[in-house]
Amino acid sequence: MTATRLPRGPGADAEDLYPPDSWGRRTGSGRARVLWGFGLLVAGLVAGRVWLAPAIDWPALQTWATVFVAICVQALPFLVFGVALSAAITAFVPASFWARALPKNPAAAVPVAGVAGAVLPGCECASVPVAGGLMARGVAPAAALTFLLAAPAINPIVLVATAVAFPGQPMMVLARFAASLTVAVLAGWVWARFGRARWLRVPSRHGAETGWEAFRQAMLHDLLHAGGFLVVGGLAAATLNVVVPRAWLDTVAGVPWLAVLVLALLAVILSICSEADAFVAASLASFSPTAKLAFLVVGPMVDLKLIALQVGTFGRAFALRFVPLTFCLAVAVAVLTGWALL
Amino acid sequence: MGPAVSRTSQNLLVTLLGGAVLWVSLFTTSYLNYVKPGFRWFLVAAGVVLVVLGVVGILRDRAGHAPRVAWLLTLPVFAILLIAPPPLGSDAASRSAPRPAVPVTAYKPLNTGLTAMSVGEFVGRAWDGKGSLTGRQVALTGFVVPGRKGAWYVARMQMNCCAADAFALKVLVRGVKAPPRDTWVEVTGTWIPPKTGGLPKGTVPPELAATTLRRLTKPDETYE
């Protein structure tokens, strides 16, 4: 394997996220103080639930909070599942397994990883930590990134949901599968050819190397990293969800190229999980099938919470390059596929 | 200040998050405000995993650090407990553009008597062009959304996965005075077929000539 383990980049964007080293020091009294503080916080929250929450009656804030909490609550089990799977890959699957399972040449490993994406049932929140775990275990980054893009878009649950949302239109399911897999493989190849190791911060593993202790530490580490960024994405998506009026959508539906772009951007903004986006696409009745396909291809690969998760897991330098690459590829391939199949 | 803040706080944070997930899913029914009913046990499992991870971490506690962004995980916890977001209601319904109901291949023929049906079914039947609602007495249950010039809608939010993808199903009610917004009501009446065929199909709410109105208490499961 040519790029088994990448050196850590300068990592300036990573390190400035960390609190000072002195925070890590440990004395008994400090720990007790933290526990007391935590107890007070819980008591404060319970008191707030009893007295403050019933007094809040501001519909716009409540709508925003409902959407924000809904995004977090919906994504969290998938994140926990993805983080657990990623930690299990790190702690229990030996690196030699991946060397045997995947072709040595990254360019050949990319399509294999893309097809392997079909077996991870979950939405995009699960695939980011799993891709990180694969890289930490020595899988070529290009192959892991292809897996990251393919898994949420082409797994059986998502395809069945698409078939249910578009009854009598099996070509929509086929077009979604073909376009998503193509984008994932193309993005992997582009990364294998032009990607620089220093752009990508491969999640590193500290402490125990294998076993339950390693599992626990990897899980805690990934959860705190990715979880915080998931909240950032949830905040942005909830805000835009409430602020952007939907009524103007119908006015652009008539202009073909504009309709495609608008639905692709809507997929980025709404950050709907890939298991539900087909229903939303189906309800956008005034748009062309190609525009709906663009919505379905872009959504699982690029959206606000996913961008935030990628920044948190792989670093800002990575997201700055990978997100525009994926978005452009997704729109272009969706248009071509829609033109050919729909 | 705060030596040892880092690792202990991380584990407490994870415990707190797990506790909030369990609060939403296991100890109350408020998960119904945000996700589909079937999602409950998935949430409970995630909450248990988080609490176990946090508690084991507190007991084993080793030095280490986490990025500051992890503190943002407290925000959903604060929102859940301090705002206690209710299910989407009239505010969200008036923001949502009217949309056609999720396509249903065929509706069963209606009986001649009074039929209770979902708002989604009413909207679907009203626009499927078969006229199956003509002359039938129906009862619709939903919340009140004020419209323009004293008109009002009985509405439900329909959700496919979580409240972020929810959209409104609305029926314009005529003939009965509007109750206060967000009141849960059951209205009975008959469908008013559109006078002109010129309106684009599915983009304007269908209308109901109401005869009776009954106020209800808000159900646990508010989404359709």
Token duo for residue A21: 């080293």
pLDDT bucket at B5, cuts 50 / 70 / 90: very low
Chain B partners of A54 at a C-beta cutoff of 8 Å? Answer: 84
Would the CB atoms of A217 and B10 count as touching at under 8 Å?
Answer: no
Q: Is the pLDDT of residue A50 over 60?
A: yes
Would the CB atoms of B67 and A228 count as touching at under 8 Å?
Answer: yes
Q: B204 at the A interface (CB within 8 A)? A: no
Residue A328: how many CB atoms within 10 A of its CB? 14
Q: B169 at the A interface (CB within 8 A)? A: no
> Mind telling me how many Å the CA of A42 is from chain B's nearest CA?
8
Distance CA B9, CA B14 (A): 9
Facing B103 at nearest CB: one of A167, A229, A249:
A167
Distance CA A227, CA A105 (A): 33
Instruction: Note the pLDDT tens digit of each residue in B55-97.
Output: 998 888 666 667 777 889 999 999 999 999 999 999 998 887 6
Facing A56 at nearest CB: one of B42, B49, B83:
B83
Chain B partners of A21 at a C-beta cutoff of 8 Å? Answer: 65
Q: What percent of chain B has pLDDT over 70?
A: 87
Instruction: Note the pLDDT tens digit of each residue in B7-38.
Output: 788 899 999 999 999 999 999 999 999 998 98
Facing A231 at nearest CB: one of B39, B76, B90:
B76
- Cα A120 versus chain centre, distance: 13
- Cα B201 versus chain centre, distance: 25
pLDDT bucket at A11, cuts 50 / 70 / 90: very low
Distance CA A148, CA A337 (A): 21
Which residue of chain B comes nearest to A230, CA vs CA? B73
Distance CA B73, CA A61 (A): 19
Facing B10 at nearest CB: one of A42, A220, A238:
A220
Instruction: Note the pLDDT tens digit of each residue in B165-194.
Output: 888 889 999 999 999 999 999 999 999 988
Chain A partners of B82 at a C-beta cutoff of 8 Å? Answer: 45, 48-49, 52-53, 56
Q: Specify the residue for token string 């009776």.
A: B212
Q: A40 at the B interface (CB within 8 A)? A: no
Which residue of chain A comes nearest to B22, CA vs CA? A73
> Mind telling me how many Å the CA of B9 is from chain A's nearest CA?
7
B204 versus B94: the higher-pLDDT residue is B94
pLDDT bucket at B105, cuts 50 / 70 / 90: low
Q: Is the pLDDT of residue A4 over 50?
A: no
Q: B48 at the A interface (CB within 8 A)? A: no
Would the CB atoms of A63 and B91 count as touching at under 8 Å?
Answer: yes
Facing B85 at nearest CB: one of A69, A84, A220:
A69
Mean pLDDT along residues A33-48: 89
What pLDDT does B183 receive?
A: 94
Would the CB atoms of A70 and B162 count as touching at under 8 Å?
Answer: yes
- Of the ranges A171-180, A211-220, A238-247, which one carries the lowest mean pLDDT score? A238-247
Of chain B residues 129-158, which have a CB less than 8 A from chain A? none
Radius of gyration of chain B (CA): 23
Distance CA B134, CA A289 (A): 33
Residue A277: how many CB atoms within 10 A of its CB? 31
B63 versus B222: the higher-pLDDT residue is B222
The structure's pTM equals 0.81
Query: Would you say A103 and A109 are in contact if contact means Cβ atoms under 8 Å apart?
Result: yes
- Residues of chain B by 3-state class (helix, strand, coil), percent to 5: 40, 20, 40
What pLDDT does B3 receive?
A: 32
Chain B partners of A76 at a C-beta cutoff of 8 Å? Answer: 17, 21, 43, 46
Facing B46 at nearest CB: one of A24, A77, A247:
A77
What pLDDT does A9 receive?
A: 43
Distance CA B142, CA B208 (A): 13
Set out the domains of chain B in order of their start, with CATH numbers.
Answer: 5-85 (no CATH), 91-216 (2.40.50.140)
What pLDDT does B47 receive?
A: 96
Mean pLDDT along residues A177-206: 89
Q: Is the pLDDT of residue A16 over 50?
A: no
Token duo for residue A80: 């926990």
What pLDDT does B197 receive?
A: 59
Instruction: Note the pLDDT tens digit of each residue in A121-172.
Output: 666 777 888 898 888 888 899 999 999 999 888 988 888 888 877 878 899 9
Which residue of chain B comes nearest to A51, CA vs CA? B82
Q: B88 at the A interface (CB within 8 A)? A: yes
Work out the burial of residue A308: count CB atoms within 10 Å of its CB; fewer than 13 is exposed, 13-18 middle, 19 or more buried.
buried
> Mind telling me how many Å the CA of B62 is from chain A's nearest CA?
9
Would the CB atoms of A72 and B76 count as touching at under 8 Å?
Answer: yes
Helix then strand count (H, E) for chain A reads 16, 0
B217 versus A26: the higher-pLDDT residue is B217
Distance CA A80, CA B49 (A): 8
What pLDDT does A122 receive?
A: 63
Instruction: Note the pLDDT tens digit of each residue in A93-121.
Output: 887 888 788 888 889 999 999 998 887 76
- Average pLDDT of chain A, as a whole number: 83
Residue A177: how many CB atoms within 10 A of its CB? 18
What pLDDT does A207 receive?
A: 53
What pLDDT does A97 receive?
A: 85
Instruction: Note the pLDDT tens digit of each residue in A264-318.
Output: 998 998 887 787 788 778 767 678 899 999 999 999 999 888 998 899 889 999 9
What pLDDT does A2 receive?
A: 41
What pLDDT does B89 receive?
A: 92
